[in-house]
A and B are shown apart, each in its own frame.
Chain A
Amino acid sequence: MSKWNLIVDVAKCDNCRLCFLAVKDEYIGNDFPGVSAAQPPLGHNWLDIRRKERGTYPLVQARFMPVMCNHCDDAPCQKAAKGGAVRKREDGIVIIDPEKSKGQKQIVDACPYGAISWNEEKQIPQAWPFDAHLLDEGWTKTRGEQACPAQVFRTMKVDDAEMQRIRASEGLEVLKPELHTKPRVYYKNLHLITKCFVGGTVVHHVKGVEECAAGVAVVLKKDGREVGRATTDTFGEFLIDKLEPKSGGYELEASGPAGTCGTQFDVAEESRYLGVLTLKAV
Chain B
Amino acid sequence: MNLTVLLWGIPQAMRLAARVYPDYAARLKERNVVVQFRLRDKPQGRWIKLDGGKIDTGSGLHTAPDLVLEFKNKALAESFLTPPIDLLERIDGAKNFKVRLQGSDELAVWFLGVMSRLESLTWKAGVDMGNGVTRYTSGTNGGPIFVYVKDGKIVRTTPIDFTDEDAPSWSITARGRTFTPPRRTTLGAHGACQKSMVYSKSRLLYPMKRKDFDPNGERNPQNRGKSEFVRISWEEALNLVANEIKRAKAVGPGAIAVDHGSHHQWGNLGHYLSAFNRFWNIVGATKLMHTPDSWEGWFWGAMHHWGNSLRLGCPEFYGTVEDCLKEAEMIVFWSSDPDTTYGFEGMQRREWARELGIKMVHIDPHLNHTAAHLGGKWIAPKPGTDAALAQAICHVWITEGLYDKRFVAERTNGFDEWKAYILGETDGQPKTPEWQEAETGVPARDVRALAREWGSKKTYLGAGSWGVGVGGACRTATGMQWARMMTILAAMQGWGRPGVNFGNLQFGSPLDFSFYFPGYGEGSFSGELTFGANAANNYQRMPHIVTMNSVRQSIPRMWFPEAITQGKAGGYITDVASVQGQFFPFFYPSPGHVPVRMLYKYGSQLLGTMVNGNRWIKAYQHPSLEFIVNQSVWNEGETPFCDVILPACTVFEKWDIGEWYNVGTGYVHHMYSMNNHRVISMQHKCIEPLGESKSDYDIFLALASKLDLGAMYSEGGTSELDWCKRVFDSSDVAKHTTWRKFFKKGYFVVPPDPEPAREAVANRWYYEGRKKDTPEPYPLPSDYSGRYLEGLQTVSGKYEFVAQSLKKIDDPDRPPLNKYMPTYEDPARNPELSGFPLKLQTAHTRYAFHVMGDDEGSTVNDIREHRVLKDGRYYLVARMSRADAEARGIKDEDLIRIWNHRASIVCAALVTERLRPGTVSTYTGSARYEPVGEPGRSTDLGGCVNMLNPKESITKKGHGMKPNAILVQVEKWTGVDTWQPQEAN
Find out whether the CB atom of A146 lies under 8 angstroms from the CB atom of B445: no
Indicate the member of A21, A44, A51, A236 with the most B CB atoms within 10 Å: A21
Find out whether the CB atom of B378 lies under 8 angstroms from the CB atom of A58: yes
A97 in the interface, Cβ–Cβ < 8 Å?
A: no
Contact check: which of A21, A53, A209, A234 meets B914 at CB < 8 Å?
Answer: A53
Find out whether the CB atom of B156 lies under 8 angstroms from the CB atom of A60: no
Which chain B residue lies CB-closest to A213? B445
Find out whether the CB atom of A237 lies under 8 angstroms from the CB atom of B377: yes
CA distance in complex: A24, B857 (Å):
12
Contact with B along A146-182 (1 / 0, CB 8 A): 1101100000000000000000000000000000000
Find out whether the CB atom of B449 lies under 8 angstroms from the CB atom of A211: yes
CA distance in complex: A49, B372 (Å):
16
CA distance in complex: A235, B379 (Å):
10
Find out whether the CB atom of B449 lies under 8 angstroms from the CB atom of A214: yes
CA distance in complex: A235, B189 (Å):
35
Chain B residues in 8 Å Cβ range of A282? none
Chain A residues in 8 Å Cβ range of B375? 61
For window 172-187 of B, CB contacts with A under 8 Å fall at 186-187
For window 183-242 of B, CB contacts with A under 8 Å fall at 186-187, 189, 192-193, 195-196, 199, 201
B646 in the interface, Cβ–Cβ < 8 Å?
A: no
Contact check: which of A30, A57, A203 meets B915 at CB < 8 Å?
Answer: A57
Contact with A along B358-381 (1 / 0, CB 8 A): 010000000101101101011010
Beyond A16-B189, A58-B378, A149-B348, whether A211 also contacts B445 by CB under 8 A is: yes
Find out whether the CB atom of B339 lies under 8 angstroms from the CB atom of A14: yes
Find out whether the CB atom of B912 lies under 8 angstroms from the CB atom of A53: yes
Find out whether the CB atom of A60 lies under 8 angstroms from the CB atom of B913: yes
For window 133-173 of B, CB contacts with A under 8 Å fall at 153, 155-159, 161
Indicate the member of A45, A51, A149 with the most B CB atoms within 10 Å: A149
Which chain B residue lies CB-closest to A150? B347
Find out whether the CB atom of A51 lies under 8 angstroms from the CB atom of B865: yes
Nearest CB on B from A24, distance (A): 4
B351 in the interface, Cβ–Cβ < 8 Å?
A: yes
For window 211-262 of A, CB contacts with B under 8 Å fall at 211-212, 214, 233-237
Find out whether the CB atom of B444 lies under 8 angstroms from the CB atom of A210: yes
Find out whether the CB atom of B192 lies under 8 angstroms from the CB atom of A22: yes
Contact with A along B911-935 (1 / 0, CB 8 A): 0111111000000000000000000
Contact with B along A24-46 (1 / 0, CB 8 A): 11101110000000000111110
CA distance in complex: A41, B158 (Å):
18
Find out whether the CB atom of B339 lies under 8 angstroms from the CB atom of A16: yes
Nearest CB on A from B963, distance (A): 25
Contact check: which of A18, A30, A43 meets B189 at CB < 8 Å?
Answer: A18
B344 in the interface, Cβ–Cβ < 8 Å?
A: yes
Which chain A residue lies CB-closest to B158? A146
Beyond A57-B915, A143-B158, A149-B347, whether A17 also contacts B857 by CB under 8 A is: no
A281 in the interface, Cβ–Cβ < 8 Å?
A: no
- For chain B, give the interface size range: 35 or more
A135 in the interface, Cβ–Cβ < 8 Å?
A: no
Beyond A25-B192, A143-B158, A147-B192, whether A235 also contacts B372 by CB under 8 A is: no
Chain B residues in 8 Å Cβ range of A29? 153, 195, 199
B869 in the interface, Cβ–Cβ < 8 Å?
A: yes
Find out whether the CB atom of A42 lies under 8 angstroms from the CB atom of B859: yes
Chain B residues in 8 Å Cβ range of A62? 367, 372, 914
Find out whether the CB atom of A235 lies under 8 angstroms from the CB atom of B449: yes
Beyond A51-B864, A57-B913, whether A26 also contacts B189 by CB under 8 A is: no
Contact with A along B847-889 (1 / 0, CB 8 A): 1000000000101111111000100000000000111000000
Find out whether the CB atom of A43 lies under 8 angstroms from the CB atom of B862: yes
Nearest CB on A from B266, distance (A): 17
Nearest CB on A from B482, distance (A): 21
Beyond A55-B913, A60-B913, A143-B158, whether A25 also contacts B859 by CB under 8 A is: yes
Nearest CB on B from A256, distance (A): 14
Find out whether the CB atom of B916 lies under 8 angstroms from the CB atom of A21: no
Find out whether the CB atom of A24 lies under 8 angstroms from the CB atom of B344: no
CA distance in complex: A117, B159 (Å):
27
Find out whether the CB atom of A16 lies under 8 angstroms from the CB atom of B344: yes
Chain B residues in 8 Å Cβ range of A233? 377
Find out whether the CB atom of B373 lies under 8 angstroms from the CB atom of A14: yes
A20 in the interface, Cβ–Cβ < 8 Å?
A: yes
Beyond A56-B913, A57-B915, A57-B916, whether A17 also contacts B186 by CB under 8 A is: no
Find out whether the CB atom of A18 lies under 8 angstroms from the CB atom of B187: yes
CA distance in complex: A147, B156 (Å):
12
Chain B residues in 8 Å Cβ range of A14? 339, 347, 369-370, 372-373
Find out whether the CB atom of B881 lies under 8 angstroms from the CB atom of A57: yes
Chain A residues in 8 Å Cβ range of B377? 233-235, 237
Chain B residues in 8 Å Cβ range of A104? none
A119 in the interface, Cβ–Cβ < 8 Å?
A: no
Beyond A55-B913, A149-B186, A149-B343, whether A25 also contacts B199 by CB under 8 A is: no
Chain A residues in 8 Å Cβ range of B758? none
Find out whether the CB atom of A18 lies under 8 angstroms from the CB atom of B186: yes
Find out whether the CB atom of B453 lies under 8 angstroms from the CB atom of A24: no
Nearest CB on B from A173, distance (A): 21
CA distance in complex: A203, B445 (Å):
8
Chain B residues in 8 Å Cβ range of A17? 189, 192, 847, 860, 863
Beyond A57-B913, A211-B445, A212-B446, whether A24 also contacts B862 by CB under 8 A is: yes
Contact check: which of B156, B378, B448, B449 meets A25 at CB < 8 Å?
Answer: B156
B345 in the interface, Cβ–Cβ < 8 Å?
A: yes
CA distance in complex: A107, B343 (Å):
38
Beyond A14-B339, A51-B864, A203-B445, whether A30 also contacts B155 by CB under 8 A is: yes
Chain B residues in 8 Å Cβ range of A149? 186, 343-345, 347-348
Contact check: which of B155, B186, B196, B378 meets A24 at CB < 8 Å?
Answer: B196
Find out whether the CB atom of B189 lies under 8 angstroms from the CB atom of A53: no
Chain A residues in 8 Å Cβ range of B913? 53, 55-57, 60
A194 in the interface, Cβ–Cβ < 8 Å?
A: no
Chain A residues in 8 Å Cβ range of B372? 14, 60-62
Find out whether the CB atom of B195 lies under 8 angstroms from the CB atom of A28: yes
Contact check: which of B453, B863, B915 meets A234 at CB < 8 Å?
Answer: B453
A15 in the interface, Cβ–Cβ < 8 Å?
A: yes
Nearest CB on B from A134, distance (A): 9
For window 51-96 of A, CB contacts with B under 8 Å fall at 51, 53, 55-62
Chain B residues in 8 Å Cβ range of A18? 186-187, 189, 192, 344
Nearest CB on A from B312, distance (A): 27
Beyond A57-B913, A149-B186, whether A15 also contacts B859 by CB under 8 A is: no
Nearest CB on A from B370, distance (A): 8
Chain A residues in 8 Å Cβ range of B373? 14
Which chain A residue lies CB-closest to B433? A209
Find out whether the CB atom of A22 lies under 8 angstroms from the CB atom of B158: yes
CA distance in complex: A16, B201 (Å):
25
Find out whether the CB atom of B193 lies under 8 angstroms from the CB atom of A21: yes
CA distance in complex: A49, B847 (Å):
14
CA distance in complex: A42, B157 (Å):
17
For window 777-807 of B, CB contacts with A under 8 Å fall at none
B interface residues (Cβ-Cβ under 8 A, vs A): 153, 155-159, 161, 186-187, 189, 192-193, 195-196, 199, 201, 339, 343-345, 347-348, 351, 359, 367, 369-370, 372-373, 375, 377-378, 380, 443-446, 448-450, 453, 847, 857, 859-865, 869, 881-883, 912-917
A interface residues (Cβ-Cβ under 8 A, vs B): 14-18, 20-22, 24-26, 28-30, 41-45, 49, 51, 53, 55-62, 143, 146-147, 149-150, 203, 209-212, 214, 233-237
- Can you add 18 more A-B contacts, CB < 8 Å, to A21-B193, A147-B159? A15-B369, A17-B192, A21-B859, A43-B869, A49-B864, A51-B864, A51-B865, A53-B912, A56-B882, A56-B913, A57-B881, A57-B915, A58-B380, A147-B192, A149-B186, A149-B347, A211-B448, A234-B449
A-B contact pairs, 7 of them (CB 8 A): A20-B862, A24-B193, A24-B196, A57-B881, A147-B192, A209-B445, A212-B448
Question: Lowest 3 CB-CB distances: which A-B pairs, in order?
Answer: A149-B344, A14-B373, A62-B372
